[in-house]
Amino acid sequence: MSIAVETAAFDDHLHRLLRKRVDAATYNLWLADVTVNECPDGALELVTPTHARPWVQARFGATLLDCVRELFGRPARLRSPESAQPVGQAAPGASALAAAHLGAQRRAGIASSSAVGAASGPSHSDEGGEVLASQQPNPTLTFGRFVIGESNRLAHSAALTASEVPGGAYNPLLIYGPSGCGKTHLLHAIAAVTTFSCSASKLLLTSGEAFTAAFLGALQSRSTVQFKTAVRGVDALLIDDVAFIAGKRRTEDELLHAFNSITERGGQVIFTFDRPPESIVWASTCLRERLRSGLAVEIEQPDIRLREMVVRRTLLEHGLELRDNTLVDRLALAVTDSVRSLQSALMRSLAYASLRGEELSSTAVDSVLRAFYSASKPLGDPALSGACLPPPARRPTTIAEVQALTASHFNVDVDELISRRRSRALTWPRQVAMYLARVQLGAPLQSIGRAFDGRDHATVVHACKRVRDRINADHAMRQQVESILATTDSVVNPHSININDRP
């Protein structure tokens, strides 16, 4: 078999596997031109187009090498044609990725109305007057610094795809969720990558409030023609908190026209919301229907694992090594509402310790938590705090502590409490322990199940619901559960909950 035939076979096998590893749009844009050469030393050389070299190395280098090892079991290296340097030593050039994207557009038959390589900036009218200044992407809000967990994984994946293939699969992309959980972070990350990697010469990154103010200013100054020309002429429109525009009919109409103009030319539209898009009342029926045609992805409140990762990542970014790992748990368990609040609590703790000339300690963390977080605030997932048990004098911080407290109260052995024995003497104490781990710690259902001899989350949900129902209906039973945490002097105020909510 000739070398050419062998090389073609390598290419066929590689590209067949790559199509399984990445989505079609990403494959066509970045990996379709990758070829395989066999070197004299027996190694395989993955050849990438020079203009795409930096991005392919950074984003897909590990995937390519893994595919070669899986298919051929031979060593491989990434090289670029017309260069003797490995891909990781690529020559500089900010327009390289833009050229790659433009080449992919031409292969796909997509026309581009803008030149390659211009950066995002203020939107100008044809007459030269600035009508709406585009924000510059915050350099600290990048994909690399976004901490990924179960609560935001889908949103992160959609945002990354939209930034790599603007105007492609997800258009419009709608990201929604509570304040402080990462919507703006993703929006700025998308803007940074889109500016660098695509051929869009105009990118408008703004907020719903700024868009509205600029439009009203254009109305007052009779410069609406300039405003429309500038906004409708961009290739990517990213608006944070677009719900601010809802109910303002003329502003909605202008947003709709800009939306249509941009998407019809193959541009990208991305909006963020602080609540589900379908819950927003728009004055324009057409705008509401256009938004329904896009992909809506939710960022939920961070679960316990994500909160722990956020604390550790923030400490790492500040060059700090924490000797006492219980401080991470303490912060992650106490501050549950958002990533921003958690980072704020950590930074306040660091400042407190610094001002006292000490290392970060439990004293600093506890002082900040007492000062900024009410002691009466239920710890854990508020949606699950069915009986809203008041905080104990010394709140348990781990599932193991909850198990020990519950076992001691009911005078049973901890091993029996965790076991799969179903005697009446063990079933109720076990269910109470699961309930307290959920309500007091905010622990995920799966984590609680694992701590009780590998039970599934449905068993935990059933246990929590049974305890909730009993303490809602029986005051004596409620007092019994409270007494486990030494809080019998407090009164429980039960109310309806959704026990199936997952953090």
Question: How crowded is the C-beta side of 367, counted as CA atoms within 13 Å?
Answer: 13
Q: Cβ of 35: how many Cβ atoms within 10 Å?
A: 16
* 354: amino acid identity, one letter: S
460 or 371: which carries more pLDDT confidence?
A: 460
Average pLDDT, the chain: 75
Structure tokens at 205: 């990154």
Residue 154 — pLDDT band, cuts 50, 70, 90? Answer: very high
Domain ranges of the chain: 3-89, 135-298, 304-372, 382-484
CA separation for the pair 425, 429 (Å, rounded):
7
Q: Is the pLDDT of residue 61 over 80?
A: no
Of residues 149, 152, 153, 171, the one with CA closest to residue 162: 171
Instruction: Assess whether pLDDT exceeds 60 at residue 245.
Output: yes
What is the rounded distance in angstroms from the CA atom of residue 74 to the CA atom of residue 64?
13
Q: Which residues is 481 bridged to in the sheet?
A: none
Between residues 354 and 379, which one has the greater pLDDT?
354
Closest CA to 439 of 375, 370, 377, 373: 377
Band of residue 471 on the pLDDT scale cut at 50, 70, 90: confident
In this prediction, residue 185 carries a pLDDT of 94
pLDDT at 251: 93
The secondary structure of 286-341 as a DSSP string is HHHHHHHTSEEEE-PPP-HHHHHHHHHHHHHHTT---S-THHHHHHHHH--S-HHH
pLDDT band, residue 139 (cuts 50/70/90): confident
Candidates 160, 47, 50; CA nearest to 97 is 50
Pick from 30-34, 311-315, 342-346, 442-446: least confident: 30-34
At 82, give phi and psi (nearest 5°).
65, 20
pLDDT higher than 70, residue 383: no
Residue 427 pLDDT exceeds 70: yes
Confidence at residue 429, expressed as pLDDT on a 0 to 100 scale? 92
Q: Tell me, what amino acid is at 8?
A: A
- 382-484 folds as Chromosomal Replication Initiator Protein Dnaa; Chain: A; (1.10.1750)
pLDDT for the residue numbered 257: 94
pLDDT of 55 reads 63
Superfamily of domain 3-89: DnaA, N-terminal domain (3.30.300.180)
CATH dotted code for 135-298:
3.40.50.300
Q: What is the mean pLDDT of residues 174-192?
A: 92
* CA–CA distance, 48 with 54 (Å, rounded to integer): 10
Condensed to tens digits (0 to 9), the pLDDT of residues 273-332 reads 998 998 888 988 899 999 988 899 999 989 888 998 999 888 888 777 776 677 888 888
- In angstroms, rounded to a whole number, what is the distance separating the alpha carbons of residues 24 and 167? 14
Q: What is the pTM of this model?
A: 0.54
Whether the upstream peptide bond of residue 172 has omega within 30° of 0, thus cis, is: yes
Q: Per-residue pLDDT for 58 more than 70?
A: no
CATH of domain 304-372: 1.10.8.60
Q: What's the average model confidence in pLDDT over 419-446?
A: 87
Q: Which residues pair with 273 in a beta bridge?
A: 176
> Is residue 18 predicted with pLDDT exceeding 50?
yes
What letters, b where the CB count within 10 A reaches 16 and e where it falls short, cover 398-409?
A: ebebbbebbbeb
3-class SS of residue 271: strand
**φ, ψ for residue 379, nearest 5 deg:** -90, 135
Q: What proportion of the chain, given as a percentage, has pLDDT over 70?
A: 75
What tokens appear for 460 in the block?
Answer: 């935990």
What pLDDT score was predicted for residue 101?
37
Cα(458)–Cα(502) distance, integer angstroms: 11
